[in-house]
Chain A
Amino acid sequence: MQFLYYLDDVFTITNFALLLLGTVGGLILGATPGLSPTMAVALLIPFTFKLEPQQGLILLGAAYTSTVAGGAVSAILLKIPGAPANIATTLDGHTMAQKGEGARALQLSFLASAVGGIFGVFLLIFLTPVLAKWALAFGPSHLFWMAILGVTVIGTLDSSSVVKGLLAGCIGLWLSTIGFDDIMGAQRFIFHDAVAGGINVIPALIGLFAIPQVIMMLTKGRTDQSAEVITVKKHPIGQAFREIIAKRTAVIIGTITGSIIGLIPGVGGQIAGLVAYDQSKKFSKESEKFGTGHSEGVIAAESANNAMVGPSLVPLLTLSIPGSPTAAVLLGGLLIHGIFPGPDLFINYPAVAWTFIDSMLIGQILMCIFGLYIAGLAASVARVPHSVMAGLVLGLAVFGSYSVQNSMGDVYVMAALGIGMYFLERFGFSAAPLVLGLILGPIAEANFIQGSMIANATVGMGTYFFSGWLNWLLILIVLASVSYSIWMEIAQRRYTAKEDIV
């Protein structure tokens, strides 16, 4: 119950103000199509430099939580999901809005998000210390395999091609080796002065997530992309509360599905929302109404995509292995403050860790309250033309990456990686495994070298890295995720080929 001890830290004036700012800002950013939670958090990192680690994390955590929920606003009112996690919300949410039930859909979506989100954070609170204690027993070989697992699972599950997913992970791992080697102090792969000190993670993250979005907006040209916002009529909040209680099966299905999916690295909110929607439809007494503006569809999807936020941070806080791209960006936010997550995070920095987690809990409630009131404003912001949005994100990306260490080299790295990532995405590569490779590369290398030294002095490389149940469990998970993804890819191709014949 240590989280209760630090709960009052959330309510200091500065911390609470930052939590409010992150929540309201996140809701507005989340409602803006094209601004994904990952990109929003990456662009916010430079603004946390001047803050205490605890305060910076509160801001980033609040933004992460509320961007996921805020995406429902544009999904419901504009039929444009604010983030991939809100795709399932669009299916029934927008039809409800067209029927004049926009306010009801928004109220249900925020209430369901809050229920799912609170459950997810409680899971984070109770699972993290248990896993952290267990993780203390991890040696270099286990941490090496964990890092490889992080890259391969995301590489295989997040990409539509297993080979391209793994290749993107390899590119990320290679990028992480640029600069000085920690053991010999030798310079590696330095082909330009800008990368002499290695690739700084924050500018890289900003470039990899923001610049492809900017170029994507530019490819639309001078067309008017602004969607019609459906006007929201008033709806009594009490009725929405009663409806949430009455449709508790959808809330429970969404919350449990989202929480379980959140714990699996690489499986994002998009999958959580769609699986919860599908399961809720199967268990519903009114399954035929799904897709026609049925509230259970919105409730299940929104409770699922917010329930996954908390559990998705468990591997990051306990093993320093980010389970999702947004968790990877949060890791960047921790690293710039000199905090390295892992099993001893709760021993060395209990105030930072617990206040951050507590703030996510309070943030869920604030997100629900403010979401209900500023949904209309957020929808207007969502109509900002892409010409303005592209210029705005580009400016923020350049300033943000420069401000990391006042270096033009970081701006060059950000722009080069961002432009490169846009072209890679056009050819079927995904940013998530590349980012994970870049972030987990140093962890994998340090533990590989340390493990090699121990192995050479004791049992030898083969025995050290390939013996023990934990090593084998991790290796088997790596192999299982690769095999499963290959099998799914083949099945998908067969299905597509059959459809083509038909």
Chain B
Amino acid sequence: MNSLPRTQHIIASGLIAAVGVTVAYISFTQEPAAAYVFPRLISSVFAILAIWTFVKAVLGRTKVGKGLSGGAIKNMLPGLVILIAYAFWAAKALGFYTATTIAFFMVLTLYDPAPHNDPKTWVKRLLITAGFIAVMYGLFAMLLNVFTPREILFR
């Protein structure tokens, strides 16, 4: 248990402590004070527990949480970049269906264990992507009538 990535725990709990202290500071300094009665109560507990967790991490007494291994970070990073780009930029800029097609196909290609040099694999990936988008279009555009940003396609 003590072989936990201590630095990671210090960084993580430090960030949480910083948020806790900031929330408590805002709660006790902002006006109107009446609007911050409840936030003051919870932010006090939040800040105390967050500082307690940070101190324990600094002292190397954190017992819970496996942290992140190098392999896990390496594996997740491309997917995480796709997720962030898709949710925070592409969905709005390119339109939901275009962005989803690209994001789904990229995730499928990057994480599919099938060999990249086999043409059948690519056909399969394209068919799965097309099938998924067709189902999403049917569900959200036709069944639920959700008007998503469409931008460059599906005008």
Interface of A toward B, CB cutoff 8 Å = 46-47, 49-50, 159-161, 163-164, 166-167, 170-171, 173-174, 177, 181, 183-184, 186, 188-189, 211, 214-215, 217-224, 385-388, 390-392, 394-396, 398-399, 402-403, 406, 408, 411-412, 414-415, 419, 423-424, 426-429, 444-445, 448-449, 452, 493, 496
> Using Cβ atoms and an 8 Å threshold, which residues of chain B touch A47?
139, 144
Q: How many residues of B contact A (CB 8 A)?
A: 71
Known: A215-B83, A224-B113. A188 touches B37 (CB 8 A): no
* 17 more A-B residue pairs beyond the given contacts A47-B139, A166-B45, with a C-beta to C-beta distance below 8 A: A166-B49, A177-B42, A184-B32, A188-B30, A188-B35, A215-B79, A387-B113, A391-B104, A391-B108, A395-B104, A398-B96, A402-B96, A408-B92, A412-B88, A415-B83, A427-B9, A449-B38
A161–B32 touching, CB < 8 Å: no
- For A406, the closest partner residue in chain B by CB is B147
A493–B46 touching, CB < 8 Å: no
A170–B87 touching, CB < 8 Å: no
- For B67, the closest partner residue in chain A by CB is A426
B103–A415 touching, CB < 8 Å: no
A218–B9 touching, CB < 8 Å: no
**Contact residue among A167, A387, A423, A449 (Cβ-Cβ distance under 8 Å from B53):** A167
Q: Does B126 contact A (CB under 8 A)?
A: no
A181–B35 touching, CB < 8 Å: yes
| Distance A412 CA – B87 CA, assembled complex (angstroms) | 7
B67–A391 touching, CB < 8 Å: no
- Measured CB to CB, the closest approach of chain A to B147, in angstroms, equals 6
Q: Does B153 contact A (CB under 8 A)?
A: no
Give B112-154 as 1s and 0s: 1 = Cβ < 8 Å from A's Cβ atoms. Answer: 1100000000000000100010001001100111111100000
- Measured CB to CB, the closest approach of chain A to B53, in angstroms, equals 6
A387–B112 touching, CB < 8 Å: yes
- Measured CB to CB, the closest approach of chain A to B40, in angstroms, equals 10
- For B8, the closest partner residue in chain A by CB is A427
B34–A221 touching, CB < 8 Å: no
Tell me which residues from 1 to 33 in chain B have a Cβ below 8 Å from any Cβ of chain A: 1, 8-9, 12-13, 16, 19-20, 23, 26, 30, 32
**Contact residue among A171, A223, A388, A399 (Cβ-Cβ distance under 8 Å from B108):** A388
A399–B38 touching, CB < 8 Å: no
Q: Does B100 contact A (CB under 8 A)?
A: yes
| Distance A170 CA – B16 CA, assembled complex (angstroms) | 11
Give 10 nearest A-B pairs by CB, closest first.
A428-B65, A428-B64, A218-B79, A387-B111, A415-B87, A221-B75, A186-B35, A170-B46, A427-B65, A181-B35
A403–B64 touching, CB < 8 Å: no
- Measured CB to CB, the closest approach of chain B to A453, in angstroms, equals 11
6 contacts between A and B (CB under 8 A): A164-B65, A177-B38, A219-B75, A391-B107, A427-B12, A428-B64
> Using Cβ atoms and an 8 Å threshold, which residues of chain A touch B100?
395, 398-399
- Measured CB to CB, the closest approach of chain B to A471, in angstroms, equals 16
| Distance A394 CA – B86 CA, assembled complex (angstroms) | 10
| Distance A391 CA – B102 CA, assembled complex (angstroms) | 10
B23–A189 touching, CB < 8 Å: yes
- For A408, the closest partner residue in chain B by CB is B92
- Measured CB to CB, the closest approach of chain A to B19, in angstroms, equals 8
A427–B83 touching, CB < 8 Å: no
- For B101, the closest partner residue in chain A by CB is A395
| Distance A147 CA – B74 CA, assembled complex (angstroms) | 41
Q: Interface centre among A186, A408, A428, A445, by most B CB within 10 Å?
A: A428
| Distance A177 CA – B36 CA, assembled complex (angstroms) | 9
Q: Does B98 contact A (CB under 8 A)?
A: no
Known: A174-B46, A215-B80, A391-B108. A399 touches B62 (CB 8 A): no
- For B109, the closest partner residue in chain A by CB is A387
- For B148, the closest partner residue in chain A by CB is A402
**Contact residue among A189, A215, A428 (Cβ-Cβ distance under 8 Å from B26):** A189
| Distance A161 CA – B9 CA, assembled complex (angstroms) | 14
> Using Cβ atoms and an 8 Å threshold, which residues of chain A touch B72?
219
Q: Interface centre among B53, B64, B72, B84, by most A CB within 10 Å?
A: B64
B53–A223 touching, CB < 8 Å: no
- Measured CB to CB, the closest approach of chain B to A183, in angstroms, equals 7
A415–B84 touching, CB < 8 Å: yes
A385–B112 touching, CB < 8 Å: yes
A183–B83 touching, CB < 8 Å: no
A174–B65 touching, CB < 8 Å: no
- For B77, the closest partner residue in chain A by CB is A218
> Using Cβ atoms and an 8 Å threshold, which residues of chain A touch B87?
398, 411-412, 414-415
> Using Cβ atoms and an 8 Å threshold, which residues of chain B touch A46?
144
> Using Cβ atoms and an 8 Å threshold, which residues of chain A touch B75?
218-221
- Measured CB to CB, the closest approach of chain B to A172, in angstroms, equals 10
> Using Cβ atoms and an 8 Å threshold, which residues of chain B touch A408?
91-92, 149
B64–A214 touching, CB < 8 Å: no
Known: A184-B32, A445-B38. A493 touches B140 (CB 8 A): no
**Contact residue among A49, A166, A167, A423 (Cβ-Cβ distance under 8 Å from B144):** A49
- Measured CB to CB, the closest approach of chain A to B63, in angstroms, equals 7
| Distance A230 CA – B132 CA, assembled complex (angstroms) | 28
> Using Cβ atoms and an 8 Å threshold, which residues of chain A touch B145?
50
B64–A496 touching, CB < 8 Å: no
> Using Cβ atoms and an 8 Å threshold, which residues of chain B touch A164?
53, 64-65
- For A173, the closest partner residue in chain B by CB is B42
| Distance A188 CA – B68 CA, assembled complex (angstroms) | 33
| Distance A387 CA – B125 CA, assembled complex (angstroms) | 10
Q: Interface centre among B26, B52, B75, B145, by most A CB within 10 Å?
A: B75
**Contact residue among B41, B46, B86 (Cβ-Cβ distance under 8 Å from A398):** B86
**Contact residue among B63, B79, B92 (Cβ-Cβ distance under 8 Å from A390):** B79
- Measured CB to CB, the closest approach of chain A to B42, in angstroms, equals 5
| Distance A395 CA – B100 CA, assembled complex (angstroms) | 6
A399–B80 touching, CB < 8 Å: no
| Distance A229 CA – B105 CA, assembled complex (angstroms) | 27
